[in-house]
Amino acid sequence: MGSERFSLNMADIIGLGKNALLVGGAAALTYVAGNLGGLDFGNLGALVVPIVAVALDSAIKWLKNNVETVNPPV
C-alpha cells in the first residue's frame, strides 16, 4: 500500500474492503461447513454431505489463496 504513514489513500481503502470481504466470505463458508453435519437429508445424506463438504472446503481454500500478494519495497 502506497500511502504515507498514518494516512490512507483510495487504494488502501479498496484493499481493506477487499480483505474484509475475503475474511467475511471465508468465515461464512467455515460456519456453514462446521454445521453441515447436523442437517438431515434422509437417505441422501451419505451422498449430499460429502459433496457439499468438499465444495465448501474448495471454496474456502480458493478464497484464501486467491489474494494478490504485494511485495514490500526492499
Q: What is the pTM of this model?
A: 0.52
Q: What is the largest CA-CA distance in the chain?
A: 60
Q: How far apart are the first and last CA of the chain?
A: 14
pLDDT at 1 > cutoff 60: no
Q: At what angle do helices 45-65 and 10-34 cross, to 10 degrees?
A: 160
Q: What average pLDDT does the chain have?
A: 76
The predicted-structure confidence for 28-58, as pLDDT tens digits, reads as follows 877 887 787 777 778 887 788 788 888 878 8
Contact 11, 1 (CB under 8 A): yes
